[in-house]
């Protein structure tokens, strides 16, 4: 070890022969004829076990989230009013065209691809959810450069922290296909309504003609008029 402060993490061989993950930190100093090291050591077995459990949990979570339609995320509004997304699944790339790392500390990559007409409504809905601590829910549009406009549905629940920040836990999913189907259904419904309206007008006109004909015929038939 070099003179001064030193730290090392290495396996330590126990008396029974098995290895223990061990952390050693301290200071090396020298006298005229000898070198000394004074420090403390720590058994890292429990910490390593906890780290391995976290890795296994994260791996399982990634596998599960891969089969969930849409993007699972945490969205944070800091006490100073800035926004960031500390956690998101890889589906953020499909919806917003950026990676989880791009938005971990910066919301601007998502704000940039928001459809301009919907951005103000999105921000207002977030602030309303923050003020009232109510579930956030919204349908809005996104347009990644070079791609067509897509519709997105988002829903999340807010949770306030002692530092004044608020974090929403929820999901976003692409609903473009559903919106297209709804649009086609609305077009077909309007078409049917127009056909019904035209048919109704035609029937009303036919009824008037029939009434006029009946009235005329009743007066033209022999014996239709009473003779005094």
What does the pLDDT profile of the chain (228 residues) look like in tens digits? 556 677 888 888 888 888 888 888 888 777 777 777 778 888 888 888 888 887 777 776 666 666 677 899 999 999 999 999 999 998 999 999 999 999 999 999 999 999 999 999 999 999 999 999 999 999 999 999 999 999 999 999 999 999 999 999 999 999 999 999 988 998 888 988 888 888 888 888 888 777 776 766 666 555 544 444
Q: Which residue has the tokens 């906890």?
A: 50
Domain extent at residue 40: 7-52
User: How many domains, in total, are found in the chain?
Assistant: 2
Q: Does 27 share its domain with 93?
A: no
Q: Does 140 share its domain with 93?
A: yes
165 inside domain: yes
Q: Does 92 share its domain with 168?
A: yes
In the chain, beta strands by DSSP E: 4-13, 19-30, 35-43, 71-77, 83-88, 136-142, 150-160, 166-174
Of 138, 161, 179, the position where a domain reaches its end is 179
| Cα dist from 148 to 138, 176, 219, whole Å | 20, 10, 68
* Rounded-to-10 torsion of CA 220, 222, 223, 228: 80
- Report helix, strand or coil for 169: strand
């Amino acid at each position: 070890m070099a003179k001064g402060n030193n730290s090392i993490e290495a396996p330590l061989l126990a008396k029974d022969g098995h290895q223990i993950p061990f952390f050693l930190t301290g200071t090396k100093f020298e006298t005229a004829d000898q070198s000394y090291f004074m420090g403390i050591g720590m058994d890292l077995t429990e910490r390593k076990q906890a780290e391995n459990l976290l890795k296994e949990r994260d791996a399982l979570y990634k596998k599960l989230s891969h089969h969930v339609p849409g993007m699972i995320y945490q969205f944070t509004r800091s006490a100073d009013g800035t926004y960031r997304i500390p956690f998101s699944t890889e589906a953020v790339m499909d919806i917003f065209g950026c990676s989880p790392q791009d938005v971990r500390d910066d919301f601007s990559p998502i704000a940039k691809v928001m459809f301009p007409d919907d951005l103000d409504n999105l921000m207002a809905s977030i602030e309303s959810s923050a003020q009232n601590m109510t579930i956030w829910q919204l349908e809005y549009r996104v347009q990644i450069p070079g791609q067509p406009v897509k519709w997105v549905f988002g829903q999340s629940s807010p949770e306030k922290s002692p530092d004044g920040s608020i974090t929403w836990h929820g999901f976003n999913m692409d609903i473009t296909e559903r919106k297209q189907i709804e649009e086609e259904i609305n077009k077909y419904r309007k078409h049917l309504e127009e056909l019904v309206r035209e048919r109704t007008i035609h029937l009303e006109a036919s009824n008037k003609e029939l009434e006029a004909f009946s009235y005329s015929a009743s007066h033209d038939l022999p014996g239709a008029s009473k003779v005094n």
